[in-house]
């Protein structure tokens, strides 16, 4: 049987693996602005926790169904960004997001309500500029059943008169004026009230309800004077109580996402629920990141009507009541229901926006708390104990291989070292590229994968011993043993990889990290065995020193082969003498 093809040039195969390592570590050291270390998970490096408090328009308590739906959508956003190691949990009426590291911005981005509306732009001015009066023809018409707006006065009010406390003409008196003259029974009421303190949750709900109602009364009014006053008084630096709570059937006064422009927008013409898919792409012509949207059938028709009506005019894409893009329509209706969102996007922000829109809006709007640091003391202790146990186990395995396989055991150690270098570099790159975080479960998958790599070596070495028992020399047994062993190695690793892929597809949380590292090390097992172990053993078989039975530890096998040949010769001699 001739030697297997591909094993006649072991130095070439070793060179290929060395080139792969060179490419990996060139990317590690010369790309990215971070240290060449893997990105650790929450249980190893700690993290940042952000608590999300639901804000309902009527101030009522959020339902558990809506909380579970919000948790599911946020988890889908986490998975859409890659294996990031984030945790999303429900605690009472709140949702708690924990992300690795000390940057709480990622958790806040995951909590974006993502209520997208496409509204025509009626008026837009830079923040701080004087707001001109909008011609009556451009004013949004009131809905049927609503009272007609009170006409604006002939002269525009001075900026001082447009303060937030000022009431629109014909509007009811402010609440503060009513409270200045309370009825007598109201003065004695506090003395009759119970001494128990008010429920803080109820107080917070009432405050939230008042903020949303006050914002809607001014910023979503159909009255022209109220709209102008709202545009002058709007503070783009403060949190927006209308975030995710604006009424799409009313006009809206709002800010751009960067706070540099104030908009008066018409009613929503397209809901974000009509988006079929969202993908972040790099516009090669303008060298900027954009988000490509594809609408469903109904949304496609609405977009065609909107672009036909507002050709060469601006339309605004609002996300959670803020304008993040207000481009001018440059072309008429197009087939396919596709459009493109442009803005001051980076690669990261464009992918986050596309991921947010792709998986849908949250059923609730949330108020985020301040970021809190999560300690990793317990995780680091577990990691230290696990690494010590793993090191002891690896040393014991290598000592056993050296005692049992001699030279082949030494080659096993070299192969495992080569595999470890590749695994480490790939972990660093995956942490930069897809946000992969290495946690305790992932380390367990790595250890099991390295153990499976050692199993592949054992299969190869035992095939070599089988060939030598049949009377072949070490030099001729190696290529024939490799030809028989590689099919078994490929079959075993294929089964392991399929199991890891199924586990990753069906599992959640840290189990995904275990399945991911297990599948990765399974692939690297095949690469190392084919490009490192087999060439090293073939080189050793061609060496006079390594072929000595006292060095390679195969003397006993050769002795068995000689005894078998002697027995076969004796039997043959006995047959001839008869």
Facing residues of 341 across strands? 291
Lowest mean pLDDT among 141-155, 294-308, 524-538: 141-155
User: Residue range 536-557: average pLDDT?
Assistant: 81
Higher pLDDT residue, 92 or 197? 92
| CA angle at 503 for the pair 501 and 506, rounded to the nearest 5° | 110
The confidence score (pLDDT) of residue 170 equals 36
Please state, for a pLDDT cut of 70, what percent of the chain lies above it: 76
Of the listed ranges 263-272, 296-305, 362-371, 486-495, the least confidently predicted one is: 362-371
Top-ranked range on mean pLDDT: pick from 4-8, 222-226, 562-566: 222-226
Question: For 95-222, where are the alpha helices, taking DSSP H only?
Answer: 105-110, 175-179, 184-192, 200-219
Rounded to the nearest 10°, the torsion over CA 492, 494, 495, 498 is 160
User: In 10 A of CB 520, how many CB atoms?
Assistant: 22
**What is the reported pLDDT for 25?**
93
pLDDT surpassing 90 at residue 264: yes
The reported pLDDT for the residue numbered 331 is 72
| pLDDT tens-digit map of 242-252 | 887 888 999 99
Q: What is the pTM of this model?
A: 0.56
Angle between helices 440-469 and 555-577 (to 10 degrees): 30
pLDDT, one tens digit per residue, over 92-141 is 888 888 877 666 666 667 767 778 889 999 999 987 666 666 555 455 54
Residue among 458, 356, 345, 448 nearest 408 (CA): 458
Per-residue pLDDT band at 262 (split at 50, 70, 90): very high
For residue 1, pLDDT beyond 90: no
The per-residue pLDDT of the chain, averaged, comes to: 77
| pLDDT of 327 over the 70 cut | yes
Per residue in 438-457, pLDDT (tens digit) is 888 888 888 888 777 778 88
The answer on pLDDT for 222 being more than 80 is yes
Q: For residue 523, what pLDDT is reported?
A: 93
Higher pLDDT, 208 or 190: 208
Q: Which domains does the chain have, with CATH numbers?
A: 10-39+376-569 (1.20.1640.10), 47-110 (3.30.70.3400), 116-140+202-357 (3.30.1360.200)
Check residue 120 and give its pLDDT. 94
pLDDT tens figures, 145-195: 343 343 333 333 333 333 333 333 333 333 333 333 333 343 433 444 444
């Amino acid at each position: 049987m001739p030697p297997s093809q591909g094993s006649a040039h072991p130095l070439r195969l070793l060179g290929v693996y060395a080139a792969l390592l060179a490419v990996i570590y060139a990317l590690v050291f010369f790309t990215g602005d971070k240290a060449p270390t893997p990105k650790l998970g929450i249980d190893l490096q700690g993290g940042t926790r952000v608590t999300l408090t639901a804000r309902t328009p009527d101030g009522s308590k959020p339902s558990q169904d809506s909380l579970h739906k919000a948790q599911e959508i946020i988890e889908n956003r986490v998975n859409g960004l890659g294996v990031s190691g984030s945790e999303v949990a429900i605690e009472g009426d709140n949702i708690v997001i924990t992300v690795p590291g000390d940057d709480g911005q990622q958790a806040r981005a995951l909590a974006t309500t993502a209520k997208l509306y496409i509204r025509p732009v009626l008026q837009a001015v830079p923040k701080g500029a004087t707001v001109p009066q909008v011609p009556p023809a451009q004013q949004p018409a009131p809905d049927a059943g609503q009272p007609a707006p009170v006409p604006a006065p002939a002269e525009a009010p001075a900026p001082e008169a447009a303060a937030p406390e000022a009431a629109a003409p014909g509007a009811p008196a402010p609440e503060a004026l009513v409270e200045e003259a309370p009825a007598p029974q109201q003065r004695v009421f506090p003395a009759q009230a119970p001494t128990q303190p008010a429920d803080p949750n109820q107080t917070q709900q009432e405050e939230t309800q008042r903020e949303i109602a006050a914002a809607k009364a001014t910023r979503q009014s159909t009255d022209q004077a109220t709209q102008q006053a709202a545009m002058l008084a709007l503070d783009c630096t403060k949190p927006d109580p209308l975030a995710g709570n604006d009424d799409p059937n009313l006009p809206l006064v709002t800010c751009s996402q960067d706070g540099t422009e104030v908009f008066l927008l018409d009613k929503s013409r397209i809901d974000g629920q009509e988006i079929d898919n969202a993908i972040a792409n790099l516009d090669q012509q303008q060298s900027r990141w954009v988000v490509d949207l594809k609408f469903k059938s109904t949304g496609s028709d609405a977009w065609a009507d909107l672009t036909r009506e507002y050709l060469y005019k601006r339309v605004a894409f609002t996300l959670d009541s803020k304008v993040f893009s207000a481009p001018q329509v440059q072309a008429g209706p197009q087939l396919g229901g596709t459009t493109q969102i442009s803005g001051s996007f980076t690669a990261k922000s464009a992918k986050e926006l596309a991921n947010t829109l792709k998986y849908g809006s949250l059923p609730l709007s949330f108020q985020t708390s301040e970021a809190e640091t999560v300690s990793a003391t317990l995780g680091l202790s577990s990691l230290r104990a696990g690494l010590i146990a793993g090191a002891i186990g690896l040393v014991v395995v290598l000592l056993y291989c050296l005692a049992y396989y001699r030279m082949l055991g030494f080659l096993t150690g070299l192969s495992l070292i080569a595999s470890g270098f590749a695994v480490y570099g790939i972990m660093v790159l995956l942490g930069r590229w897809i946000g992969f975080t290495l946690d305790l479960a992932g380390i367990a998958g790595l250890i099991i994968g390295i153990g499976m790599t050692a199993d592949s070596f054992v299969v190869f070495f035992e095939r070599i011993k089988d060939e030598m028992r049949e009377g072949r020399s070490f030099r001729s047994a190696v290529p024939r043993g490799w030809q028989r062993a590689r099919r078994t190695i490929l079959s075993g690793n294929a089964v392991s990889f399929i199991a890891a892929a199924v586990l990753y597809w069906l599992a959640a949380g840290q189990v995904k990290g275990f399945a991911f590292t297990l599948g990765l090390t399974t692939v690297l097992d095949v690469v190392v065995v084919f490009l490192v172990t087999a060439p090293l053993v073939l080189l050793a078989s061609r060496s006079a020193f390594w072929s000595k039975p006292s060095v390679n530890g195969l003397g006993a096998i050769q002795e068995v082969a000689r005894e078998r040949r002697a027995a076969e010769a004796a039997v043959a001699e006995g047959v001839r003498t008869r």
